[in-house]
Amino acid sequence: MLVEEIMKTNVYTLPPTATVADALQLLKENHIRHIPIVDTEQQVIGIVSDRDVRDASPSIFADHTNYQAFNNEIQSIMSQPVTTVHPLDFVEEVARVFYDEEFACLPVVSENRLIGMITEKDMLYTLIQLTGTNVQSSQVEIKVPHKPGILPEVAAVFGKRKTNITSVLMYPYNDDPNYKILVFRIQTMNPLPVIQDLRDAGYNLMWPNNIAEPKV
């Protein structure tokens, strides 16, 4: 998945000469946390976060508040140089930047001009889509040996039943490198026939499982 597919293109910016008060208002009105600072050519020359702006604002505990602080130009507090990404970068790479650099937001720049923004929230939303929980479905989890060909083998069971698969995730089984957990979200309210097929084929189901034991 590419950055241009998930970035926001409706971006709020300020010129370097805008004031701290302008920034505060823009953050508040639009429920955003970052403002890219651009010159007249739409080139990103800095960025400010809501925390930068708050640091530059008077404390709510101060007795004699100095409102002068609000009039400072934003270029005096903006961070630079700014790390930016390209619209054709992979979302996975951007996630890496977020994780390593501890940013929460990256301007997207093409031909030196700002064309969008991508935030941690956009990333998480994409992740939710990848899990498939955003469409009607039932979940089945299968523990399989970690070997070539296992995924099509299991998927064929769903295919035979004409059960549509919404998403597939694969993750490690605890610390055991010999196994993987396959998580399928399938578009059916009645997974019973497919589950029976999987059991008959000898697969080890993590969910649904029969952990419930009789009481007597």
Question: Near another protein by CB under 8 A, which window of 38-46, 62-70, 72-80, 129-137?
Answer: 129-137
Per-residue x/- marks for another protein, 147-176, CB under 8 A? --------------xxxx------------
Which residue, 2 or 170, has its beta carbon nearer to another protein? 170
Tell whether residue 187 is a contact of another protein (CB under 8 A): yes
What angle, 0 to 180 degrees and rounded to 10, lies between the N-to-C axes of helices 150-160 and 192-200?
A: 140
Task: Tell me how far CA of residue 14 lies from CA of 21, 37, 67, 87, 196, in angstroms.
Answer: 12, 5, 21, 21, 60
CA torsion through residues 32, 36, 38, 41, sign: negative
Least distance (Å) from another protein to the CB of residue 47?
30
Tell whether residue 203 is a contact of another protein (CB under 8 A): no
The candidate with the shortest Cα–Cα distance to 42, out of 94, 111, 141, is 111
Which residue, 49 or 137, has its beta carbon nearer to another protein? 137
Which residue, 136 or 178, has its beta carbon nearer to another protein? 136
Q: Which of 1, 135, 151, 170 binds another protein (CB under 8 A)?
A: 135
Tell whether residue 139 is a contact of another protein (CB under 8 A): yes
Residues in the chain: 216
Which residue, 34 or 185, has its beta carbon nearer to another protein? 185
The candidate with the shortest Cα–Cα distance to 36, out of 75, 86, 92, 72, is 75
Maximum CA extent, the chain: 78
Applying the rule CB under 8 A, the residues between 42 and 81 that interact with another protein are none
